[in-house]
């Protein structure tokens, strides 16, 4: 096996750090992973710096182990690499590269005043999780780290810099740091000028262009693995420096790539700890608080509906049911329980029989809530069955996404020719697909590689840099070199499922005051 003819993608997800190695045919040949969880510390959702560093090394060591077991050799090099991470958030550093605060993740809903003011200033929606919202909120708060601030980035950008020494981001990830010019692949100059005037009036002396990462588009070289970076990645010293890197991206961009959803009028839904829909648009849209305008890794405009909460509440209930199974002597692994319970949901009433769930572990921007409380409720005459119980949680996981998608399809008339699903929600064949199809009222496809998710997409972007033909566009490369013979399944929900979801969603909207009350009372 010639590992110089491979490409490696490594992604920092919400619950797993995962590496996927692909060959020249873009087929996964090895993988590694490391499980981790965020913490809520002093009112902030975060991961510790030690957890970030050790998690990267553990994941890479697991990849090396997999290569050793499969091929009998030690992994010492690859043809190219790429780093991906949870979108956006806030990682500020001083001139010496020392962190000035904890890593503030996408999950935080603590930047409401900043996001609202910037949206008004720019006439462009600025979501709470974007880096510029976090920076401006820190300015509004008068945080004491600001006089020492020299650079901000995202998690993907931070790891990329640790490995290559370069302060850069792929344009898809950069579009969540600051808005991108709609005509060319650069930050929007007029908005940057407005921001600089705004913060100068508040006593800030820095210029935004001097503290945010440079941006690159897919296919460009983003540096090489340094000797220091190689030892950081692999403390054994076995992995060699010199590997070329593609631009680091966020998990939105890798999800688009992994599902071949980077061309206009295509889209994908990623559903895991959070869920989000990415639709590549072919016309300009109005400003909506629920819709983020970002880009593909190649720079095409994308309308994004992002929801902070998806499967965390499902996971919590599955853990409870697993504990009960063990209590009665019927031990069952999670790998067995998830498909059993997801399958059971398909036997439930289409509208969930009068049960209701809000899966809000954290705040939810689409429904304008800064905090969350998981809530399960039912009518006194509800049909409390296991099937209805599971279906309720599966529909709840898509409810806020559906609210945002309706704005795109019904108010903005955004056409979607193809919609793909990927992520843990779709692992049980046919279930997640059918329910998402019921939510959006159109067919949903899942590729056989959907389980590989973001790190596979990151590996494809590294492979694109390595193997593309001259100026070959990303969408053409994916169509011809990666997905030409890809196997996928497509499901269209029955009318009864569609109507059932609509009935559930109407009840969900009407019951939102219950979630608001739970936040106040609990």
- Region of residue 333 (left: phi > 0; alpha: psi -120 to 50; beta: else): beta
- Please give the average per-residue pLDDT across 429-454, as a whole number: 86
Q: Look at residue 102 and tell me if it is in a domain.
A: yes
The number of domains in the chain is: 1
* Closest to 9 (Cα-Cα) out of 23, 25, 294: 23
Report pLDDT digits (tens) over 214-234: 999 999 999 999 999 999 999
Q: Look at residue 1 and tell me if it is in a domain.
A: no
Q: Look at residue 113 and tell me if it is in a domain.
A: yes
Q: Look at residue 522 and tell me if it is in a domain.
A: no
Binning the chain into helix, strand and coil, the percentages to the nearest 5 are: 40, 20, 40
Neighbour-count burial of 243, counting CB atoms closer than 10 A to its CB (0-12 exposed, 13-18 middle, 19+ buried):
buried
- The domain of 104 spans 88-153+178-211
Q: Look at residue 276 and tell me if it is in a domain.
A: no
* Closest to 115 (Cα-Cα) out of 102, 129, 133, 94: 133
For residues 514 and 358, the answer to whether their CB atoms sit within 8 Å is yes
- Assign residue 203 the CATH number of its domain: 3.30.420.40
Q: Look at residue 238 and tell me if it is in a domain.
A: no
Torsion over CA: 128, 132, 134, 136 (sign): negative
Which pLDDT value is given to residue 449?
63
pTM value is: 0.85
Report pLDDT digits (tens) over 175-188: 999 999 988 999 99
Model confidence band, residue 334 (pLDDT cutoffs 50, 70, 90): confident
Q: Look at residue 69 and tell me if it is in a domain.
A: no
Report pLDDT digits (tens) over 110-139: 999 999 999 999 999 999 999 999 999 999
Q: Look at residue 56 and tell me if it is in a domain.
A: no
Residue 168 pLDDT greater than 70, yes or no: yes
The two tokens of residue 505 are 């969603």
């Amino acid at each position: 096996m010639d590992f110089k003819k491979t490409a490696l993608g490594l992604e920092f997800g919400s619950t797993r750090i995962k590496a996927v190695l692909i060959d020249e045919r873009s087929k996964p040949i090895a993988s590694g992973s490391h499980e981790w969880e965020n913490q809520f510390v002093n009112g902030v959702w975060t991961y510790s710096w030690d957890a970030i560093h050790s998690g990267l090394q553990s994941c890479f060591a697991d990849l090396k182990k997999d290569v050793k077991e499969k091929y009998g050799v030690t992994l010492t090099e690859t043809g190219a690499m790429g780093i991906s991470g949870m979108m956006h958030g806030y990682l500020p550093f001083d001139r010496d590269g020392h962190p000035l605060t904890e890593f503030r993740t996408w999950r935080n809903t603590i930047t409401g005043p900043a996001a609202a003011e910037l949206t008004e200033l720019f006439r462009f929606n600025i979501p709470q999780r974007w880096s510029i919202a976090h920076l401006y909120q820190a300015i509004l708060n008068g945080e004491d780290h600001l006089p020492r601030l020299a650079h901000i980035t995202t998690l993907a950008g931070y790891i990329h810099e640790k490995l290559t020494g370069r302060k850069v981001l792929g344009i898809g990830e950069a579009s969540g740091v600051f808005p991108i010019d709609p005509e060319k692949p650069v930050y929007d100059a007029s908005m940057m000028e407005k921001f600089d005037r705004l913060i100068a009036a508040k006593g800030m002396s820095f210029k935004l262009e001097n503290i945010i990462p440079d941006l690159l588009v897919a296919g460009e070289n983003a540096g090489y693995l340094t000797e220091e970076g190689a030892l950081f990645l692999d403390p054994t010293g076995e992995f060699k420096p010199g590997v070329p890197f593609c631009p680091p991206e966020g998990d939105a961009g890798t999800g688009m790539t992994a599902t071949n959803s980077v061309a206009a009028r295509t889209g994908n839904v990623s559903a895991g700890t959070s869920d989000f829909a990415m639709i590549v648009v072919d016309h300009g849209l109005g400003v909506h608080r629920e819709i983020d305008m970002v880009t593909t890794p190649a720079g095409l405009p994308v309308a994004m509906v992002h929801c902070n909460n998806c499967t965390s509440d499902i996971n919590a209930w599955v853990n409870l049911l697993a504990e009960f199974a063990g209590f009665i002597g019927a031990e069952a692994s999670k790998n067995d329980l998830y498909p059993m319970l997801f399958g059971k949901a398909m036997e439930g009433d289409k509208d969930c029989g009068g049960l209701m769930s809000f899966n809000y572990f954290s705040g939810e921007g689409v429904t304008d809530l800064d905090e969350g409380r998981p809530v399960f409720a039912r009518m006194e005459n509800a049909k409390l069955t296991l099937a209805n119980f599971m279906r309720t949680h599966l529909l709840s996981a898509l409810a806020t996404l559906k609210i945002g998608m309706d704005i795109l399809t019904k108010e903005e008339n955004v056409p979607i020719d193809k919609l793909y699903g990927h992520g843990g929600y779709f692992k049980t064949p046919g279930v997640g697909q059918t329910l998402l199809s019921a939510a959006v009222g159109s067919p949903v496809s899942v590729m056989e590689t959907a389980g590989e998710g973001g790190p596979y997409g990151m590996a494809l972007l590294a492979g694109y840099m390595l193997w593309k033909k001259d100026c070959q566009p990303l969408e053409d490369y994916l169509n011809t070199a990666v997905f030409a013979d890809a196997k996928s399944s497509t499901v269209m929900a029955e009318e009864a499922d569609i109507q059932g979801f609509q009935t559930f969603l109407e009840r969900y909207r009407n019951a939102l005051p219950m979630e608001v009350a739970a936040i106040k009372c609990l």
